[in-house]
Each structure stands twice: as C-alpha cells, then as structure tokens.
A and B are shown apart, each in its own frame.
Chain A
Amino acid sequence: MNERSFPKINQIIDIWERKVSNLIPILQEVQKEYRYLPEEVLTYVATALGMPLATVFGVATFYAQFSLEPKGKYIVKICDGTACHVRGSEVVDYIIRKKLDLSEGQDTTDDLSFTVERVACIGCCGLAPVITINDQEVYGQLTTEAAEIVVEDLLKRNAAGEVH
C-alpha cells in the first residue's frame, strides 16, 4: 500500500471544509490517493467529519465508482455494451484475464498491478469491441491476437516500473 498517502487525507478533508455534505468528493479524492477506499481510512474520514461510520460505508457501497477492494495500478476496462458484446467482447475478456492469470471471480492481480473491469458502454460503439487502460488509452476493433499484444505490452511496461 502507498504509505505516503495518509498525510494527504487531511488536506483533502480540509479542502472540502470538513463538511458532511462534501463526503462524496472527499471519498473520490481519497480513492484517487489509495486507488480504493481502505476500511481504516474510511474510519478516519468518519471521525474527522463527525458522522457515523455506517453512513460513510453506506455511501461508499452505494455508488459503483467506489471500490472497497484494492485496485491495480493499471485498470483495464472491457466494454460489454450491446455493440461490443455482439462483436466478441467476451472472448477479449477471456483472453485478457487468462493472460493476467486471474482466477474466476478475481478482478485484481495478486501483485496489485492490474485490475480488469467489465463496464456497460464506453460510448464508441463504432470501435467495438473496445477496451481502455486507465481511462486514457483506447484500443478498438480488438481481435484475440490484438488483445494478447496489448496485455503483453502492459506487462512489459509494468515490469519496467513505469509509473502511470
């Protein structure tokens, strides 16, 4: 885990004026720091805002954007909207998970490098099937071979210690 993230939490809480009504932006920024919402950090946020932890937990679990599980450095989103689905997103999904050595039900690799997510529609159906890396790189019209190349490239970048 990122040890240096904690000192930043108070800055985030202060920027948002320690207001209960700003809980969602606070959680969004905290998640940016840790790449997920650790239990002890949520406890700290609840303490700092003076609100019940159960309520913070309720908000954190209500929205799909928040994750209570650690996420990888690289987040691979596989679009499974209608267009991507009919053009073979399931095969792409299978290949990527297999290459990353993810077992069934597992979304994040053991070394916390990669997370694979299935999302509804990214909005570029013309490129189907499509995946994105960290919401920045977009790969479209994927074939199984192309998917393999993308993952191999990612593995290399990760091994080279590239910080995204």
Chain B
Amino acid sequence: MSTLTIDGQSVEIGNEQNLLELVRKAGINLPTFCYHSDLSIYGACRMCMVEDQKLGLVAACSTPPTPGMVVRTNTDRTRKIRRMILELLLANHDRDCTTCERSGRCKLQTLAQEQGIDRARFGVREVVVPVDAASPSVIRNPNKCILCGDCVRMCREIQGVGVLDFAFRGSQTVVGPAFGKPLTEVDCINCGQCIAVCPTAALTVKREIEQVWKALNDPKKTVIVQVAPAVRIALTEEFGGKPGQISTGKMAAGLRRLGFAKVFDTVFTADLTAVEETNEFVGRLTSGERLPQFTSCCPGWVKFCEQFYPELLPNLSSCKSPQQMLGSIAKRFYASELGVAPEDLFVVSVMPCAAKKFEAQRPEFTYDGTREVDAVISTTELAQFFKQDGIIFDQLEEEAFDQPFGLVSGAGVIFGVSGGVTEAAVRTAAGMLGVNPGQVEYNELRGPEGVRSARVKLGDLEVRLAIVSGLANTVKLIEAIKAGTESYDLIEVMACPSGCIGGGGQPYPNDREARRLREAGIFRVDRISQFRNPLDNLAVQKVYEQWLDGHGSHTCHDALHTNYSPRRRIDGKEIRVTLAPLEKPIEVSVCVGTGCYLRGAYDVLAKFHELSERDDVSGYVNLKATFCLEKCDQGVNIKVGDRIISGVSSANAEEVFDREVAAQLVK
C-alpha cells in the first residue's frame, strides 16, 4: 500500500491523478480558481501551491502523487504566495463588489476574505473595456475576468463548441470570442455552462426581472407564470438551503404574493410533451422513418444541431419544448377563456436555463404577432425577485399550482434530469401499448455517466435508447452512429451535464456535488407524486379534448409542433476571388462554410474560378467565397445574384455555371 504524508497525516494513494485530489481527500480545503475535476488541468492560478520536502514549491493540481512524498500545504511561503496572487488579481479586477450580482458567492471575494486581504495594495484597475450584453442569455464582462480559463475549457471540452479562447498576450490577454465579436455573432449555443464555472461575475445570466415588474405593474396585462421542474429543487440554495430541497409549495405561494394572476407548472406541459413525443416516436418506429429520433426540449442542443448537424434536423422531434407548449396553449386557447387578448396575456417562465431566454425569442415561437413566452427568468433571478419584494421565503405557507395547468405527473418532473425525458417517454409508451404493468421506474436509464445506453422491452418491442448530456459527448455519439458502430431508436440530448438541474441559470456553486443532490431531489418529487405516468394526467386529457381536437389533429400539430432549419455559425465577410473589371458584373458566391466545405465546396470554387476566366465570360464574373447560405443540409450551395442554387458538386459545376452564369450574359 503506497502512502504519502500531508501536513503530518499519512494518506493512502488511490486513483487520484494529482496531489490536489489527495489533499482534499485528507480533509484539507486547498483553494483553487482554475481546477475543476471535469475539465483538463490548466495549472494557471497557482493558488494550490504546496511545499514538498524534495520538490520544493509545486502546484498540487498538476503534480502526480508519488509514494513517500512529504507535503505541507500551509507554510509561510505558501501563505505568502496565495496572498500575493490574490492581491495581484484584485489589482486587475473591477472591484465594484457592492453592486456586483455575484457578491457573496464570488470565489475571488471569498478567498480574499479567507486569506485576510484587508486592503488592495496595488491600486485600482483603470482600463475599462466594454461589456458584451448583446446575447439574450449570457452577459460577458471582461473587467471582472481573472483569466482562469475555466469557461474556455468548459466550452471546448465539455460542450464541444469553443467560442471562447484566450487572445493577445501578457498584460493584454483577454478571454473572449474570435475578433472580439459579441456572443450573438459567433456559434454560442447559450447553454450558460461558462457561467456555471466562472468564479467571478465575468459571465452572468442576462436579467429580465425589470420587464416582468413592468408587466406586473401594467393594469392592461394579465401576467401568468410557469415554473420548470429543476427550479423547485434548487431555489432554496439562494436562501441558505441545501441543493435538492423541495420548495414547490413555498415557491407557488411566493409567486402568487408577487402578483401573478395564475401560477402554473411547466411539468404539466412536460407531461403533454411526453405524450406528443411518444406518439411521434411510436409513429416513426412503425414507419421506420426519421430514426433515430432525437429529443428537442433542450434549446442549447437544438441550436447546436442547427449549426453543426443540420442534416439531423429531420430526426429531431418536432415537438415544441414544455416551456413553449405552455406559452402556445396559453396564448392560443387559455387567453380567450379568460377573455383576454393574446397580446395582453403576459407569459413569464422561470427556468434553470440560460438558453430558454434565447428559445423564447425565436421567431418560430410567436402567435398572432406576440411571443408565446414573453419573458424568461432564471432560478437565481426568481430568488432575487422574492428578495426585492420583501418576501421571507422561509416563512411562506405552502400553496398549490393553479388549474388548468397545475396537475402533473412524476414523469414530467424528471424532465429536469438527464435521462428523465427518455424515462417519461418509456412510461408513456408502456401505457399506450398496455405493457409492463406495475413497472414505474426504469433504473437502467439512470446514472451519473454523460453517455448511457439501454435496451428496454415494451412487450414484443425492444427499443434501443441512448441518453447523453454535454455536447462534446453528443458529438462522439453522433459520430459513432454515422460510422455505423452504434445504432439507436431514441436519443435524448441535454446540453448541460446532468441535464437541466445543472443549467446555466441555477444557483452558484453549480458543481458536480450540487447536481448530484438536486438529482436526488427531482427523483424524490417523482416518488411522492400521485401520478407517475403522463397518460394518467386528467388535466392533459382535458386539454386534448377541450382545445386540441384530440390526438394527432391539425390543431395539435399547429399548437404543439414546430420545425427547425440550418443556421449560420459565423458572421464572416465574403472573400473576394476575382474582381470583374467590367461594368454590371454577375455576382457569384460559393459557400465555404463547414457543411459545404465538407461536401467539397473548395473544388467547386476552384472549378468556378477556372470557368470564370473562359473567353465568353472573362471579366464579367465577380466570384466570391462566402460563409454559409443557411442550407447546409443541401450543399454545396452557390448564389448567383439573389438566387441560391443547391446541390452543386465538382461533377456538375460546369453545367451549373453554363446554365446559371454564362446563359445570363448571352441575354
């Protein structure tokens, strides 16, 4: 058995990859900014410096443990180093703590206090750079960035996106998107996982509280609210509670106190989604078309798919997400029942998510000229709402949700964890097919891993299910399916690791331990639910009869379904290839975005370049390479004048050129 000594204690070396994990195992809380067990080791912050008898000063996070080491974590030198690092970080940090939304939960502030930094020796930050507030979901304030790189690694390693990286050098170093662009002009999917790992307020959720107050104070508006499943087991963390505590009743009571006319449960439409999506899935299984079916309730995943896998868009479930289903039904049907015009019904949703803010603003989700969901606030914003209104959360008496969107099943609740949508679909399918009587829970679908798969028997039918969270995991799974090494019928994708309970709008710390406890909370809510199967939800049945003209109707399709289309990843300028010297040239662009590039766009471009020098057209063609004509699933795409022509290849390039370009010149 190999051991080493930490502060006089003998500690056994297990599977730990680095000294830091061992130090923490020994019960010593070594401070860090840049260390996260799920991310690669960066070793930048130097807060975890320890003294080894032989090696001297080393960073614990990037030192492998070896038997016989004698390590001390708290010496005069390490204390001095930690204090100096903090002082230097503070000197370069926008220290407006009193007005900072992370105040009280900021790692920099906490560590500075713990290490006893009582004054800022090195002056104040003089440079002020602009804040990027363009995104509907994430606000980036570089003035508060301490360059730990956690967001960079999260975005690239866990989410497989990589919109953030370090740029420039030395004292000029910044973390941000390429060319200093706003997040709206790069391929950010709005998941907010960068917020979950940011130790300061350099990355925060965009707030919408003021819009909601304005609506609440507007006598013309009837303001209703819906709350997502993952909010009820995280909200108390903002009031000093532990992750996983169930606060459904107090939350509903508090929302009513705030002045919402009706307090509804998004779990209701999660039940509805489960029914619709299972219907769709059973239909696809029967016809064998558009399989595997991918879930579409996660707006981060949907945008990712639109940008990176447009060819899979037909495989996405056409169901709107639970948030949008509630908004849609409320505006289409419930408003007239109340006698309110759709534009005077203001729908607010409370979500654990940053991307839901983006989803609610999508043009697809409008009805009669108004948004289906008018404002989205995060779990942390809801807590602030209560505080602003002087509500003492602990003292609230529990109340229930309002009808007709208040009766729910446990299957809708577990939408909040990774695997929950699948389990809800399996429960629903079992009910529809009349199989697996008495079985409610499907433990084979649960677990902490980022990628899980299971085969579930539904009578004679065996369905192959995959559950994935984190988009880098999703990329791996999709590539395996494309390579033919894996095959599934239904795939649930959640952008955030562990699902919505770890969403970008959840309280801080939003780490692995908090997520584990919140997951347990969600399953507890499921277990104590009266109904466990969405088919048993009488209120859902009533909505089908009263408003939706039954299952599979045209109304149903119109209100509850949508479709998505390929989306441009980057706002890039065109690259000029030839410049026609003559007047009135023909503008020809060839798309060289990722989708078209992989389909051989460059060969088409080279061919066009050659053809544009042919005698009959020479001097009349302005040839350009462009980034994305948003028809990525039909590439290679070209644009002649205002017309987009799809399906061009090097084989038909000459034919297309003659027909579309050369023929115009003859005219």
How big is chain A's contact interface, by range?
A: 20 to 34
Q: Indicate which residue in A39, A47, A55 contacts B179 across the interface (CB closer than 8 Å).
A: A39
Chain A neighbourhood of B166, CB < 8 A: 58, 62
Is B362 on the interface with A (CB-CB < 8 A)?
Answer: no
Is B165 on the interface with A (CB-CB < 8 A)?
Answer: yes
Chain A neighbourhood of B578, CB < 8 A: 3
B155-193 CB mask vs A (1 if < 8 Å, else 0) is 010000111111111000000111100000010000000
Chain B neighbourhood of A16, CB < 8 A: none
B165 touches A40 (CB 8 A): no
Is A139 on the interface with B (CB-CB < 8 A)?
Answer: no
Chain B neighbourhood of A94, CB < 8 A: none
Chain B neighbourhood of A42, CB < 8 A: 178
> Smallest Cβ distance from B661 to chain A, in angstroms?
18
A58 touches B573 (CB 8 A): no
Chain A neighbourhood of B609, CB < 8 A: 7
A58 touches B167 (CB 8 A): yes
A61 touches B167 (CB 8 A): yes
Q: A7-B609, A43-B627, A54-B162 are in contact. Are A62 and B169 (CB under 8 A)?
A: yes
Is B594 on the interface with A (CB-CB < 8 A)?
Answer: yes
Q: Indicate which residue in A39, A44, A50, A55 contacts B592 across the interface (CB closer than 8 Å).
A: A44
Is A25 on the interface with B (CB-CB < 8 A)?
Answer: no
Is B344 on the interface with A (CB-CB < 8 A)?
Answer: no
Q: Indicate which residue in A1, A39, A44 contacts B625 across the interface (CB closer than 8 Å).
A: A44
CA A136 to CA B593, docked complex, whole Å = 39
Q: Identify the closest chain B residue to A50 (Cβ).
A: B594
A52 touches B156 (CB 8 A): yes
Is A41 on the interface with B (CB-CB < 8 A)?
Answer: yes
> Smallest Cβ distance from B665 to chain A, in angstroms?
20
> Smallest Cβ distance from A96 to chain B, in angstroms?
26
In A69-94, which residues have CB < 8 Å from any B CB? none
In B576-617, which residues have CB < 8 Å from any A CB? 576-579, 592-594, 597, 602, 605-606, 609
B575 touches A55 (CB 8 A): no
CA A100 to CA B30, docked complex, whole Å = 58
Q: Identify the closest chain A residue to B610 (Cβ).
A: A7
Is B340 on the interface with A (CB-CB < 8 A)?
Answer: no
Is B572 on the interface with A (CB-CB < 8 A)?
Answer: yes
> Smallest Cβ distance from B613 to chain A, in angstroms?
11
Chain B neighbourhood of A48, CB < 8 A: 597, 602
A47 touches B167 (CB 8 A): no
CA A41 to CA B626, docked complex, whole Å = 11
Q: A52-B156, A62-B169 are in contact. Are A44 and B575 (CB under 8 A)?
A: yes
A57 touches B602 (CB 8 A): no
In B341-380, which residues have CB < 8 Å from any A CB? none
> Smallest Cβ distance from B271 to chain A, in angstroms?
39
A40 touches B164 (CB 8 A): no
Q: Indicate which residue in B163, B168, B573, B594 contacts A40 across the interface (CB closer than 8 Å).
A: B573
Is B570 on the interface with A (CB-CB < 8 A)?
Answer: yes
Q: Identify the closest chain A residue to B165 (Cβ).
A: A54
A54 touches B602 (CB 8 A): no
> Smallest Cβ distance from A47 to chain B, in angstroms?
5
A17-61 CB mask vs B (1 if < 8 Å, else 0) is 000000000000000000000111111100110111111111001
Chain A neighbourhood of B627, CB < 8 A: 40, 43-44, 47
- Cross-chain pair count, CB within 8 angstroms: 79
Q: Identify the closest chain A residue to B579 (Cβ).
A: A3
Q: A47-B594, A52-B162 are in contact. Are A57 and B573 (CB under 8 A)?
A: no
> Smallest Cβ distance from B191 to chain A, in angstroms?
15
CA A141 to CA B424, docked complex, whole Å = 82
A39 touches B167 (CB 8 A): no
CA A114 to CA B365, docked complex, whole Å = 53
A40 touches B574 (CB 8 A): yes
B178 touches A47 (CB 8 A): no
Q: A3-B579, A7-B606, A58-B167 are in contact. Are A39 and B573 (CB under 8 A)?
A: yes
Is A134 on the interface with B (CB-CB < 8 A)?
Answer: no
Q: Identify the closest chain B residue to A42 (Cβ).
A: B178
Chain B neighbourhood of A38, CB < 8 A: 575
Is A10 on the interface with B (CB-CB < 8 A)?
Answer: yes
B165 touches A52 (CB 8 A): yes
CA A3 to CA B624, docked complex, whole Å = 10
CA A16 to CA B156, docked complex, whole Å = 24
CA A6 to CA B476, docked complex, whole Å = 33
B593 touches A47 (CB 8 A): yes
Q: A53-B178, A57-B165 are in contact. Are A43 and B570 (CB under 8 A)?
A: yes
B125-167 CB mask vs A (1 if < 8 Å, else 0) is 0000000000000000000000000000000100001111111
Chain B neighbourhood of A54, CB < 8 A: 162-165, 167, 176-178, 186
Q: Indicate which residue in B164, B169, B572, B575 contacts A61 across the interface (CB closer than 8 Å).
A: B169
In B536-588, which residues have CB < 8 Å from any A CB? 570, 572-579
CA A56 to CA B577, docked complex, whole Å = 22
B577 touches A3 (CB 8 A): yes
CA A54 to CA B169, docked complex, whole Å = 14
Q: Identify the closest chain A residue to B595 (Cβ).
A: A47
Chain B neighbourhood of A61, CB < 8 A: 167-169
Chain A neighbourhood of B164, CB < 8 A: 54
> Smallest Cβ distance from B202 to chain A, in angstroms?
16
Q: Identify the closest chain B residue to A48 (Cβ).
A: B597
> Smallest Cβ distance from A4 to chain B, in angstroms?
8
Q: Identify the closest chain A residue to B575 (Cβ).
A: A40
CA A148 to CA B165, docked complex, whole Å = 44
Q: Identify the closest chain A residue to B627 (Cβ).
A: A43
B207-242 CB mask vs A (1 if < 8 Å, else 0) is 000000000000000000000000000000000000
A41 touches B163 (CB 8 A): no
B576 touches A1 (CB 8 A): yes
In B422-465, which residues have CB < 8 Å from any A CB? none
CA A93 to CA B210, docked complex, whole Å = 55
B167 touches A3 (CB 8 A): no
Chain B neighbourhood of A50, CB < 8 A: 594
Chain A neighbourhood of B594, CB < 8 A: 47, 50
Q: Identify the closest chain B residue to A51 (Cβ).
A: B162
Q: Identify the closest chain B residue to A64 (Cβ).
A: B169
A and B contact pairs by CB, cutoff 8 A, 15 listed: A3-B579, A6-B625, A40-B572, A40-B575, A41-B575, A43-B570, A44-B625, A47-B592, A47-B627, A51-B162, A52-B162, A54-B177, A57-B178, A61-B168, A62-B167
Which A residues are within 8 Å of any B CB, using their own CB?
Answer: 1, 3, 6-7, 10, 38-44, 47-48, 50-58, 61-62
- Report the 5 A-B pairs with minimum CB-CB distance, sorted nearest first: A52-B162, A54-B165, A57-B178, A53-B178, A58-B165
Having A47-B597, A62-B168, one finds 14 other A-B pairs with CB under 8 Å, namely A3-B579, A7-B605, A39-B573, A40-B574, A44-B575, A51-B162, A52-B161, A54-B162, A54-B167, A54-B186, A57-B165, A57-B179, A58-B165, A61-B169
